[in-house]
């Protein structure tokens, strides 16, 4: 037996799980679709590419399965996936020898994933565990392949190994082969002796070294007769292992010998049967077994664009930012990575921090937790997820939400903060005390953020649950022509908005993104974006002017513009009587470390003109409309 993780099916399961966790990554989705489980072919994928929505239908399905996994349980999501894609039928769609093995292995893998989902909390941890098993399969008993309905298929064994077992069908190979002892060392014989006490003749067994010079011919014949009788009894065992049918394969030219099963064939009272017959000898090589496979069709693929903006997990801004060029030494621009997350567009600008801090030694500093909370994408993702699941007005669940985030997905982040607490309070502080203080400090920080007024005395803490949406996803349709990067750059210059020069790029169909927060206030709809960028330790580092500089260096004006265009298109389709001047608000960028409760600190609000949004909307274009025209 081999490990259930050692095989193509285990790799296909891994591909499907990865696609569920990354539903907006087209490469991962395509790999899952081409697996035996989902049953799609290159021809199917080529047809999808020609459709308007491309892989959009599958992206939506994988995204829905991902939500079920996060909100309910792995087993519920996995069963939904198996039913939706009709996986069980796909596995046995073609006549193949390994159909039953594939079905049994998939059930086995599903059981193992379900069992370990309770041990490894969080989908990411469960997926990482599974990938480790596939990468390094072993021979642990619980991961060995299960037996098939035919008792592990065809089993090869000696007659001695079959003792006590029974099978429906048995094949006996070399059933009439000559018997010859191998490596004989002892000779067993008998002789007659007179018992001195009883004076009667008795049979006595003699065991002697197999030396032909010392043994008589009678002793050798006695041993051979004894060994032949034992061999006949062994073949009797072989002939009685089948409960339904037995096939004996005989060697050509030896059908008349009395070796092997031929000894019992001449015993009519023991092994005669009405269905027993002799098959004719094979005179030619049997035809090889051929599985029914689909005919491979040669594909004539259309050349792909040099740079194609595939749908991303969180923001399309990062995909665009990979084309930006540095203009100055202080311009630190966002870079694109394959695995985008909510905080991938956040940039740490170190050069502009020290000047302010050095000149303001007496200035008020931001809270300790905001100064010392780790920097980088990992920390930014934590804060994004907190705000995604936070109830702005009900604090009863805040402690539990913060605790669960650190425990399930951000244990490394918690460890980094603990080290800073130990440096501040001494190594003697207990871990439980660190944890309680961490939750209290983060909760206090969240209170400061939600109570920071901006605009017309507006605060996030005023938002009712039915007046905002967290992580608002969108698909922004684009023209299928060459991306109008130069025209977009000129548009920003015309409105005195600095963004670095955009290089030319080719795009396809649509951009995908997710807005951190969309909220309604006084009849207008606004967007907000959380930033964990560290600009300095003092409050003066997070004034509107300093944030505006960072937004220019990080090209966040472009990001805000794309988000507002997406919201504009959505409201135009869904809001009855929509008017851009009346209903579309602006973009608010929230630099979380600088939001201390003081008015407009850590906040930059931008209200572009309706004309700017409409012109940018026209430059981006509409793929579907142009195709139908």
Which secondary-structure segment (H or E) carries 433?
helix 431-450
pLDDT at 504: 52
Q: For residue 485, tell me if it sits in a domain.
A: yes
Query: Of residues 297 and 609, which shows the higher confidence score?
Result: 609
CATH number at residue 478: 3.90.320.10
- 19 and 136 both lie in a single domain: yes
End-to-end CA distance of the chain, in Å? Answer: 61
- 486 and 613 both lie in a single domain: yes
| Model confidence band, residue 344 (pLDDT cutoffs 50, 70, 90) | low
Summarize the confidence of residues 370-382 as an average pLDDT: 86
How do residues 56-84 score in pLDDT, each as one tens digit? 889 999 999 999 998 888 999 999 999 99
Q: What is the mean pLDDT of the chain?
A: 80
Q: For residue 382, tell me if it sits in a domain.
A: no
Q: For residue 587, tell me if it sits in a domain.
A: yes
Residues 6+ apart with CB under 8 A from 265: 271
% helix, strand, coil for the chain, step of 5: 45, 15, 40
Segment among 94-103, 278-287, 536-545 with least mean pLDDT: 278-287
Summarize the confidence of residues 263-272 as an average pLDDT: 68
Summarize the confidence of residues 111-117 as an average pLDDT: 90
Closest CA to 305 of 42, 49, 100: 49
- 235 and 88 both lie in a single domain: no
pLDDT at 51: 81
Summarize the confidence of residues 583-610 as an average pLDDT: 90
How do residues 442-474 score in pLDDT, each as one tens digit? 999 999 999 998 877 888 888 888 888 888 888
Q: For residue 153, tell me if it sits in a domain.
A: no
In angstroms, the CA 397 to CA 429 distance is 26
Q: For residue 453, tell me if it sits in a domain.
A: no
Query: Of residues 86 and 414, which shows the higher confidence score?
Result: 86
Summarize the confidence of residues 174-201 as an average pLDDT: 82
pLDDT value at 260 more than 90: no
How do residues 391-413 score in pLDDT, each as one tens digit? 888 888 888 888 888 888 888 88
| Model confidence band, residue 483 (pLDDT cutoffs 50, 70, 90) | low
pLDDT at 78: 95
Q: For residue 436, tell me if it sits in a domain.
A: no
pLDDT at 500: 73
Alpha-carbon 546 to chain mean position:
41
In angstroms, the CA 511 to CA 499 distance is 20
Q: For residue 480, tell me if it sits in a domain.
A: yes
Summarize the confidence of residues 570-595 as an average pLDDT: 91
By CB neighbour count within 10 A (0-12 exposed, 13-18 middle, 19+ buried), where does 603 fall?
buried
pLDDT at 568: 92
In angstroms, the CA 442 to CA 430 distance is 18
Q: How far lies 332's CA from each of 293, 308, 553, in Å? A: 54, 24, 6
pLDDT value at 510 more than 60: yes
Closest CA to 130 of 14, 36, 31: 14
In angstroms, the CA 305 to CA 294 distance is 30
φ, ψ for residue 524, nearest 5 deg: -115, 155
Q: Helices 56-71 and 26-33 meet at what angle, rounded to 10?
A: 90
Query: Of residues 449 and 625, which shows the higher confidence score?
Result: 449
In angstroms, the CA 203 to CA 193 distance is 7
In angstroms, the CA 566 to CA 574 distance is 12
Summarize the confidence of residues 111-123 as an average pLDDT: 87
- 584 and 463 both lie in a single domain: yes
By CB neighbour count within 10 A (0-12 exposed, 13-18 middle, 19+ buried), where does 595 fall?
buried
**H-only helix segments in 297-410:** 317-321, 353-359, 368-372, 377-389, 398-408
As given in the structure block, the two tokens for residue 155 are 């089993």
- 139 and 185 both lie in a single domain: no
Residues 6+ apart with CB under 8 A from 262: 175, 176, 255, 256
| Model confidence band, residue 330 (pLDDT cutoffs 50, 70, 90) | very low
Query: Of residues 185 and 294, which shows the higher confidence score?
Result: 185
Closest CA to 509 of 478, 530, 486: 478
Summarize the confidence of residues 565-585 as an average pLDDT: 91
Name the E strands within 437-523: 468-477, 510-521
- 174 and 95 both lie in a single domain: no
Query: Of residues 274 and 549, which shows the higher confidence score?
Result: 549
CB 415 within 8 A of CB 375: no
pLDDT value at 145 more than 70: yes
| Model confidence band, residue 360 (pLDDT cutoffs 50, 70, 90) | very low
Which residue segment(s) compose the domain that 197 sits in?
167-271
pLDDT winner (highest mean) among 126-135, 222-231, 235-244, 402-411 = 126-135
pLDDT value at 175 more than 90: no
| 178: number of Cβ within 10 Å | 10
In angstroms, the CA 251 to CA 140 distance is 42
Q: How many domains does the chain have?
A: 3
pLDDT at 345: 59
pLDDT at 508: 45
How do residues 271-306 score in pLDDT, each as one tens digit? 666 677 777 776 787 777 666 666 777 777 776 555
Closest CA to 53 of 574, 485, 471, 512: 512
- 530 and 603 both lie in a single domain: yes
Summarize the confidence of residues 598-606 as an average pLDDT: 88
- 136 and 88 both lie in a single domain: yes
pLDDT at 67: 92
Closest CA to 4 of 70, 92, 101, 93: 101
Last residue of a domain, one of 207, 239, 271: 271
In angstroms, the CA 92 to CA 188 distance is 57
Last residue of a domain, one of 79, 108, 143: 143
- 352 and 243 both lie in a single domain: no
Q: For residue 190, tell me if it sits in a domain.
A: yes
Dihedral angle over CA of 546, 547, 549, 554, nearest 10: 150
Alpha-carbon 63 to chain mean position:
13
How do residues 15-38 score in pLDDT, each as one tens digit? 999 999 999 888 999 999 999 999
pLDDT at 528: 92
b/e map of 422-449 (b: 16 or more CB within 10 Å)?
Answer: eeeeeeeeeeeebbebbbebbeebbebb
φ, ψ for residue 324, nearest 5 deg: -75, 150
Tell me what percent of the residues of the chain surpass a pLDDT of 70: 81
pLDDT at 342: 57
CATH number at residue 57: 1.10.486.10
Pairing of strands 524-531, 510-521: antiparallel
Say which residue the tokens 């009405």 belong to: 274
pLDDT value at 533 more than 70: yes
- 267 and 340 both lie in a single domain: no
Q: Got the DSSP string for 402-430?
A: HHHHHHHT-HHHHHHHHHHHHHHH-TTS-
In angstroms, the CA 563 to CA 517 distance is 11
pLDDT at 625: 43
- 133 and 193 both lie in a single domain: no
Closest CA to 583 of 525, 528, 519, 527: 525
CB 243 within 8 A of CB 168: yes
Closest CA to 323 of 486, 480, 516, 476: 486
Segment among 130-139, 234-243, 344-353, 443-452 with least mean pLDDT: 344-353
Q: How far lies 208's CA from each of 49, 189, 212, in Å? A: 83, 8, 11
- 487 and 616 both lie in a single domain: yes
pLDDT value at 358 more than 60: no
pLDDT value at 169 more than 90: no
Say which residue the tokens 């990411």 belong to: 124
Alpha-carbon 88 to chain mean position:
20
């Amino acid at each position: 037996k081999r490990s259930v993780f050692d095989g193509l099916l285990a790799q296909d399961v891994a591909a499907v799980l990865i696609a569920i966790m990354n539903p907006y990554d087209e490469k991962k989705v395509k790999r899952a679709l081409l697996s035996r489980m989902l049953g799609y072919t290159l021809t199917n994928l080529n047809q999808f590419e020609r459709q308007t929505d491309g892989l959009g239908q599958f992206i939506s399905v994988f995204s829905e399965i991902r939500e079920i996994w996060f909100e309910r349980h792995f087993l519920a999501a996995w069963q939904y996936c198996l039913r939706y894609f009709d996986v069980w039928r796909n596995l046995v769609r073609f006549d193949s020898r390994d159909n039953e093995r594939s079905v049994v292995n998939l059930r086995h893998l599903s059981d193992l994933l379900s069992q370990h989902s309770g041990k490894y909390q969080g989908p990411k941890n469960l997926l990482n565990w599974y990938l480790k098993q596939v990468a390094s399969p072993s021979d642990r008993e619980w991961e060995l392949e299960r037996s098939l309905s035919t008792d592990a298929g065809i089993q090869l064994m000696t007659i001695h190994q079959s003792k006590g077992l029974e099978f429906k069908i048995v094949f006996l190979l070399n059933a009439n082969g000559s018997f010859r002892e191998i490596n004989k060392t002892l000779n067993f014989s008998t002789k007659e002796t007179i018992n001195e006490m009883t004076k009667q003749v008795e049979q006595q067994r003699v065991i002697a070294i197999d030396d032909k010079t010392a043994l008589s011919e009678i002793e050798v014949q006695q041993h051979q007769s004894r060994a032949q009788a034992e061999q006949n009894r062994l073949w009797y065992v072989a002939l009685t292992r089948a409960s339904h049918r037995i096939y004996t394969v005989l060697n050509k030219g030896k059908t008349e010998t009395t070796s092997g099963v031929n000894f019992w064939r001449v015993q009519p009272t023991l092994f005669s049967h009405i269905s027993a017959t002799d098959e004719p000898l094979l005179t030619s090589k049997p035809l090889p077994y051929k599985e029914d496979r689909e005919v491979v069709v040669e594909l004539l693929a259309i050349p792909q664009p040099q740079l194609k903006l595939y749908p991303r997990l969180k923001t399309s801004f990062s995909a665009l930012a990979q084309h930006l060029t540095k203009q100055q030494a202080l311009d630190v621009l966002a870079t694109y990575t394959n695995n985008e997350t909510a905080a991938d567009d956040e940039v740490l600008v170190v050069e502009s921090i020290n000047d302010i801090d050095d000149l303001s030694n007496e200035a008020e500093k931001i809270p300790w937790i905001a100064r010392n909370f780790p920097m980088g994408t990992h920390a930014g993702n934590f804060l994004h997820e907190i705000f995604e699941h936070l109830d702005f007005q009900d604090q009863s669940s805040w402690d539990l939400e913060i605790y669960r985030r650190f425990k399930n997905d951000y244990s490394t982040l918690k460890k980094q903060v603990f080290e800073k607490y130990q440096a501040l309070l001494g190594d003697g502080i207990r871990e439980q005390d660190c944890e309680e203080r961490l939750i209290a400090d983060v909760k206090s920080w969240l209170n400061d953020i939600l109570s920071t007024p901006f605009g017309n005395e507006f605060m996030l803490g005023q938002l009712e649950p039915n007046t905002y949406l967290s992580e608002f996803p969108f698909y922004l349709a684009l023209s299928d022509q060459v991306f109008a990067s130069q025209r977009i750059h000129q548009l920003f210059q015309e409105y005195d908005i600095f963004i670095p020069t955009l290089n030319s790029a080719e795009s396809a169909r649509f951009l995908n993104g997710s807005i951190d927060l969309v909220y309604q206030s006084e009849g207008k709809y606004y967007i907000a974006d959380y930033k964990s960028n560290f600009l300095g330790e003092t409050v003066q580092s997070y004034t509107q002017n300093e944030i505006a500089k960072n937004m220019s260096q990080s090209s966040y004006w472009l990001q805000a513009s794309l988000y507002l265009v997406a919201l504009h298109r959505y409201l135009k389709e869904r809001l009855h009587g929509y008017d851009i001047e009346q209903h579309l608000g602006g973009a608010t960028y929230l630099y979380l470390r600088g939001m201390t409760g003081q008015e407009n600190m850590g906040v930059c609000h931008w209200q572009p003109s309706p004309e700017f949004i409409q012109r940018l909307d026209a430059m981006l274009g509409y793929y579907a409309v142009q195709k139908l025209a």
